[in-house]
Structure 1
Amino acid sequence: MKRINLRNSNKLYKKALKIIPYGAQTYSKGVKAFSDGVSPKFLAKGLGCEVWDVDGNKYIDFVMGNQPLILGYADPDVNKAVNKQLALGSTFSVANKLEIDVAELLVKHIPGAEGARFGKNGADATTIAVRLARAITKRDHLAFCGYHGWHDWFVGTTDLNGGVPKFNEELAHSFPYNDIENLEKIFKKYKNKISCVIMEPITVSGPKSGINGSTQWSDFDKKKNFLVDVKSLCKKNGALLVFDEVVTGFRYDIGGAQKMFGITPDLGCFAKAMSNGIPVSAITGKKEYMKYLETTFFSFTYGGDCIGLAAAKATINKIEKKNVIDHLYKAGSKLKKGMNELIKIYDLEEMLECSGYPCRSVMTIKKFGKYKKPLITKSLIQQELMFREVLWSQYHSISYSHKNSHIDKSLNAFEAAFKKLKKIVKNNNSIENNLLGKPCETVFTRVADFQSVATSQRK
């Protein structure tokens, strides 16, 4: 397979490094997440589910801007709404009606939303949720599960904790998804000190439920499951339950995972798919808790920015009217099923599995035999996909723009990658020797975490 021309990408990267630390604004958009030497470093254009880099190479994109592009790049309906608002003005001296319009849409679709306030990033929403819980409960400690953004209370628990006061790490306590016993231990150890449990309601697998503890949606028991147990523990211990739905909101269901599973949290955090890539986020929740935002500081110039709100209004309406969620599951199911069939054909089941829900599945890479470095395996697969015009970083963020033709072409690319991997493994060869670029690296690691997370799939 012929290597792609990345001359302009590499030239720009050298220029960027002189004035931009790390060379990118987001860790998972930089060289650590993509194999340096075979992957583009700068994209110039996106349309639908396809992107073009600065060297003119075209790719089918499964990263989709780190998952917010639920409709696709340059969606005409979102663009129309944004352009219309730009002509009217973006940020005003007092409030704008769009704030009410979007808040009404959130209240309409999200079970736990009786009110809403807006930010720009997912981390804005998760951080004000924690501050709000602390203000309401008069407690400082919290328990968390998943990735929640760049602010002190979370980042203090990672190896990128420079500049974060030590006390932040001491107040935040991690527990693994689907492990209610560990959460019980946290509540016991910090009795009457936990302000909230903030968690992603879905990681890769779903919540364990029923007698056998299945994580499959088809076996889900609404009365007996992990999320029900978490909510019960919170209520018993006087802590708030916060769902971080930055990833799950408007993707797994228009009402988020809380609607999907029938579990209503006290507060919810939304961003990404709610506005198809135009920056805006929201915190939602019960009136009795949201009223505290009148006296808990959450205020900044762009909190009511109308460009993001116009995009959110157009996006949410299109998700509903065009049955976007159904398309995500159909297209994602075809991709997931096809990948797992190929993994079986090439006898790679002990190394690979396409896991998770079809709307956002993940390639699980396992240690096997002498191949004990999943990032090396990822780098090979990524390399082979790049050469076949597929932009990939281990997860599959399906959009409304991914059609059957895109899925078919991508499956052909995956087959070629799996075929090469199988040949290497069968001959007991080195994967590293087959890499034409540098291997992917860990974005960050958790310090005080039960979960063995190598990279952040959100940031």
Structure 2
Amino acid sequence: MSKKFSIAKSDEIYARAQKVVPAGSQTFSKGVTQFVEGVAPKYLHRGKGANVWDVDGNQFLDYVMACHPIILGYADDDVNRAVVEQLELGSTFSLMNELEVEVTEKIIETVPCAEAVRFGKNGADATSVGVRIARAVTGREHIAYCGYHGWHDWYIANTDLNSGVPEFNKQLAHSFNYNDLDSLESIFKAHPGEVAIVIMEPLTVLEPKDNFLAEVKKMAHHYGALLMFDEIITGFRFAIGGAQELTGVTPDLTSLAKAVSNGIPLSAICGKKDYLFALEQTFFSFTYGGDCIGLAAANACIPKIQREDVPGHLWKVGEKLKDGFNTLAEEIGVADFFQCVGYPCRTVITFDGQDRYNDLEMKSYIQQELLYDGILWAAYHALSWAHKDEDIERTLKAYERALTGFKKIVDKGLDLRSQIDGIPVRPVFRKVADFNSYTRKGKKV
């Protein structure tokens, strides 16, 4: 049975935050707008394995996993041990540290395009320096992009959160649609000899059609641009060597973060030597670029991902979850409203209100009901090595209860908003390039 729980301490902390923290959160996707406000906890206190505990002591099975970086599980013993040992030695130094070379060599061994590597702390560091490298190498300024690539000016200019971003950025960055070569070629034709780079998330919830990724690479090179895969999410998750290993398409540059160090801040830009060594002529340098804590974590995390075949585990439990959800949706009679899509290692729940219900209210209702069953969820499954078969079985039982509840709302003709016990989820972006859209039953979702 589901149960309601107290979030009194969360609310007390948030009342303090609203006075001193702009937007109330350090990360939009972790803030109150992305969870049913008044129902969901606002602050987590600790995590272990696939579970987290909030500041009020409530325990949840987590499918958000800090927005994907926790690939092994919270507080993984091997990663923690490596970090603690490095802390005893020192976290950052006045000169370089051998870990910079050791982790570089591990990435070169595992990522197909990697011949050289430089490190950052956030994914946006790596994507943005990749753009800078391409501009330095080609002498061009325009960018063609597909996907989400972080908070820097060149990308965020075309969203509705672009206050403070110089206007010229809008003129230099151009979005194209996944599985749509014509939309990419139109950018090259509109800006002949001006596009420096094609940067894209190689795999999202879509499978590339008609050899799409290979054709993108061919087109980019034909028009004199570099190809960069943003593997912030796919790296080490979809396969040891990321999407490029899985698809057999090797880009010129790749950005990595998240799973590379199991949530300890670290990112990397890697690629062909001829391009990476452009960083000897353009500036990419900061105090924590060689911070040893993230490097120590990666030095333990990458071998464990290989040793335990973590991607293989994610595909196995993910397939069980995906197939189980879709079977339930069919059996309960709500498959027209909900579908689990994407690669098993990282699936997404889609919502189709059938012109009857608001999609965000549908998401909010399911999220609420899962919370009442002790599951933290944001419409995707960021699986980890710590998620076991019994967790999947528990989750499917919770989905069964939530979907059955939704079916009753449909059958009784109830107002969905009235069944949500707090403020529904709100969008982060209201205007953003159409990068991850896809068609389900003829309708874009």
Place the TM-score, normalised by the shorter chain, in its bin. Answer: over 0.9
Matches of 1:322 and 1:347, distance apart in 2? 38
Q: Helix, strand or coil: the match of 1:124?
A: helix
- Supply the AA of the counterpart residue of 1:267: L
Q: Show the counterpart of 2:77.
A: 76
Aligned length: 437
Q: Show the counterpart of 2:441.
A: none
Q: Show the counterpart of 1:287.
A: 273
Matches of 1:422 and 1:116, distance apart in 2? 51
Tell me if the contact between 1:177 and 1:203 (Cα under 8 Å) persists in the aligned partners.
no
Matches of 1:377 and 1:150, distance apart in 2? 28
1:437 aligns with 2:422: yes
Which runs of structure 2 are paired with 1:386-405 in the superposition (5 Å)?
A: 386-405=371-390
Q: Could you tell me which of 243, 259, 278 is aligned with 1:273? A: 259
Which runs of structure 2 are paired with 1:281-360 in the superposition (5 Å)?
A: 281-360=267-346
| Offset, 1:451 | 5.6
Q: Show the counterpart of 1:222.
A: none
1:143 aligns with 2:140: no
Tell me if the contact between 1:125 and 1:269 (Cα under 8 Å) persists in the aligned partners.
yes
Matches of 1:451 and 1:304, distance apart in 2? 33
Tell me if the contact between 1:68 and 1:273 (Cα under 8 Å) persists in the aligned partners.
yes
Q: CA-to-partner distance for each residue in 1:281-325, whole Å, 9 max, x for gaps?
A: 000000111110111110000001000000011000000111111
1:113 aligns with 2:99: no
Tell me if the contact between 1:247 and 1:272 (Cα under 8 Å) persists in the aligned partners.
yes
1:380 aligns with 2:365: yes
| Offset, 1:447 | 4.2
Structure 1 regions of 5+ residues with no counterpart? 210-224, 454-459
Matches of 1:450 and 1:402, distance apart in 2? 29
1:233 aligns with 2:233: no
Tell me if the contact between 1:157 and 1:449 (Cα under 8 Å) persists in the aligned partners.
no
1:367 aligns with 2:366: no
| Offset, 1:2 | 3.2
| Offset, 1:369 | 3.4
| Offset, 1:326 | 1.0
Tell me if the contact between 2:353 and 2:362 (Cα under 8 Å) persists in the aligned partners.
no
Distance 1:62 1:447, change over 3 A: closer
Q: Show the counterpart of 2:190.
A: 189
Q: Helix, strand or coil: the match of 1:32?
A: helix
1:242 aligns with 2:228: yes
Structure 2 regions of 5+ residues with no counterpart? 439-445
What's the TM-score once normalised by structure 1's chain length? Answer: 0.94
- Supply the AA of the counterpart residue of 1:400: W
Q: Helix, strand or coil: the match of 1:51?
A: strand
Matches of 1:333 and 1:181, distance apart in 2? 33
Matches of 2:51 and 2:228, distance apart in 1? 35
| Offset, 1:203 | 1.6
Tell me if the contact between 1:231 and 1:265 (Cα under 8 Å) persists in the aligned partners.
yes
Tell me if the contact between 1:145 and 1:175 (Cα under 8 Å) persists in the aligned partners.
yes
Distance 1:359 1:449, change over 3 A: closer
| Offset, 1:12 | 0.8
- Supply the AA of the counterpart residue of 2:281: T
Tell me if the contact between 1:379 and 1:439 (Cα under 8 Å) persists in the aligned partners.
yes
Q: Show the counterpart of 1:199.
A: 200
Matches of 1:329 and 1:394, distance apart in 2? 18
| Offset, 1:425 | 1.0
Q: Show the counterpart of 1:23.
A: 24
Q: CA-to-partner distance for each residue in 1:11-38, whole Å, 9 max, x for gaps?
A: 1111111111122100000011101011
Which is worse superposed, 341-350 or 276-285? 341-350
Distance 1:450 1:293, change over 3 A: closer
Q: Show the counterpart of 1:410.
A: 395
